[in-house]
Structure 1
Amino acid sequence: MDRSLYIAMNGAKQTLMAQTTNANNLANSQTTGFKADLEQSRSMPVFGPGYPTRVYAMTESPGTDLTSGPLAMTGRDLDVAINGEGWLVIEGADGKEAYTRAGDLRLTTEGLLQTGTGLAVMGNNGPIAIPPAEKLTIGSDGTISIIPQGANATALAVLDRIKLVKPDLDQLEKQNDGLLYLKDGGVSPEDASVRLIQGALEGSNVSTVGAMVEMIELAKNFELQTKVMKQADENSGISAKLMQMA
């Protein structure tokens, strides 16, 4: 009796964990450049003293869906999207090099170029700083050109270049901050083949409909597990009464 109760209890627990992952994906379906987390379940025997007669369900994250999201034209000078494969290089909160496809950039009052979440965008010589300018242009290769404030329209000056990289996808891992890092903690070399589109943003690659369908399936699965737990408890009670009669 305890086997069915244990398996149902563990299945319900793992279903709740899967719901957490799916809910996070759904909540970020409109987040610029977001990459969906994957989840799967498999059976695992419980090892310990004696023969492993118990089996439990285990939910695990096999990785991240790194496919591209849809592009939307915004016309904003500081919005950029990767055209094809590649990543923008930014400085993570811990100072390490991180990668993202969220190109909703902005300028601070000090002129620092940052992502929409406030992380510094990296250039040839570290974080990019931009002086006051009449106009700013970001080329397809990441080159940042400006017309300095007070200068005429022909005084175009090349300021810096956004660092763009294209590491192998199997070398990347998503961490708790939602950014991608190299698994070995290293730094990826710049790749000249990566191209940008100015005035565009890449959306989340989460399918809202797919996430909603999965949420319904997980809810039904959780309900089934709780029914099994209730039935196991009722059977245990009946068995106890039969033993008392004997």
Structure 2
Amino acid sequence: MDRLIHTSLSALRGAMARQAATANNLANVNTTGFRGELATARSLWMGGQGFAARAFSAEEVSGADMREGTITETGRALDIAIAGDALLTVQAANGDEAYTRRGDLKLSDTGLLTTGDDHPVLGEQGPITLPPADQIKIERDGAVWIVPTGGDPALPQRVDRLKLASPVGSDVVKGLDGLFRVRGGGALPADPDARLVSGSLEGSNVEATKALVDMIDASRAWETQLKLINTARDLDGAGADLMRLPD
């Protein structure tokens, strides 16, 4: 009985992990630049003397779906969508370099350029800070141009260039904060060929219909394991009855 119960318990944990990842994907179906999380299961065989007769299930988030999302034109000067697989470099909460596909940029009260979730955007010279300007424009190559307040629109000034990195050939993992990092630390190389689509945003690549189906599938897997546990309890009760001495 205990073997069946512990095997089912490991499957229940896996179903919970899968359900959590699916729920997070579904909650971010409208989040700009969101990359869906991928949960995979693997078998963990019990070691020891004799034959390997039991395998526990271990399911966890193993990576992210890096497919591009749908690009929608907004017309807003600070909205950008990244073409291809390049990543925008930002500063994480601990000060380290991290990466995102989120392009709904905004300016703080001090002129600091940040993403929609308040991570400072890094340029070739560090965090980008813009002075008061009548016009802001981000070129296809990531260059940031402004027309200072009261300046001549025909004479824009280049402030910096967005730091765009290439994840190709690198082991990139997604953190709990939604940002991408190089596994084990380090930084991604710059991508000089990266191009932006200004005045547009890339949506989430999560398919709501598929996420709902995955959630139903995980729920049914949970119910199946509960039934197995109930069956094990019934078998244990029946075995105890057989061993009971007659009055």
Q: Displacement of 1:54 after TM fit? A: 2.7
Match of 1:89 in 2: 89
Q: What is the number of residues matched between the two proteins?
A: 246
The 5 Å alignment of 1:32-43 reads: 32-43=32-43
Q: Displacement of 1:228 after TM fit? A: 1.0
Q: TM-score, normalised by structure 1?
A: 0.94
Letter in 2 for 1:77: A
Match of 1:163 in 2: 163
Q: Secondary structure at the match of 1:61?
A: strand
> Residue deviations 1:138-171, cap 9 Å, x none?
0000111111101232231111111111131542
Q: Displacement of 1:51 after TM fit? A: 4.8
**Quick check: 179-188 or 78-87, which moved more?**
179-188
CA distance, structure 2, for counterparts of residue 30 and residue 245 of structure 1: 65
CA distance, structure 2, for counterparts of residue 47 and residue 181 of structure 1: 34
Match of 2:141 in 1: 141
> Residue deviations 1:92-143, cap 9 Å, x none?
1111111111001000111110111111111111000100111100000011
Q: TM-score, normalised by structure 2?
A: 0.94
Match of 2:100 in 1: 100
Q: Percent identity?
A: 39
Q: Secondary structure at the match of 1:103?
A: coil
Letter in 2 for 1:118: D
Matched, 1:31 2:6: no
Q: Displacement of 1:182 after TM fit? A: 1.6
Letter in 2 for 1:165: A
Unmatched runs of 5 consecutive residues or more in structure 2: none
Match of 1:72 in 2: 72
The 5 Å alignment of 1:205-244 reads: 205-244=205-244
CA distance, structure 2, for counterparts of residue 75 and residue 239 of structure 1: 72
Q: Displacement of 1:42 after TM fit? A: 2.6
Q: Secondary structure at the match of 2:62?
A: coil
Cα RMSD (Å): 1.6
> Residue deviations 1:44-87, cap 9 Å, x none?
21224665433211113332111111111111111101012211
**Quick check: 182-191 or 160-169, which moved more?**
182-191
**Quick check: 189-198 or 104-113, which moved more?**
189-198
Q: Displacement of 1:198 after TM fit? A: 0.9
